[in-house]
Structure 1
């Protein structure tokens, strides 16, 4: 599975992602899928508040990095 769009809150944190099939996932579900190896090009890290979030892998192409994806 690949993430193609993101949704952010007012603080700029990603709250939801959309995969290439158009399915919208809450961040918690996306984190669980990434941990299971079901989402490509992302890793799971912790943000400044200690909450698990997604981050682009180092190998991700520039246009595929989460922060560069279009918002929905």
Structure 2
């Protein structure tokens, strides 16, 4: 068992790093059936702007 421990530790480290290295920015599309000038759509657009600012490089939302 001790002979396999270094290899197992290396495999676990590579598996953990591979998820981080492959991460890409995710872009979501948000669609609304309501006009952009309605109150709750305006609030949603404010939220989208906050998410886009805070999620730079991780998550972006495009309002269609």
Provide TM-score, normalisation by structure 2.
0.27
Provide TM-score, normalisation by structure 1.
0.25
The structure with more strand, counted as a fraction of residues: 1
Bigger Rg, which one: 2
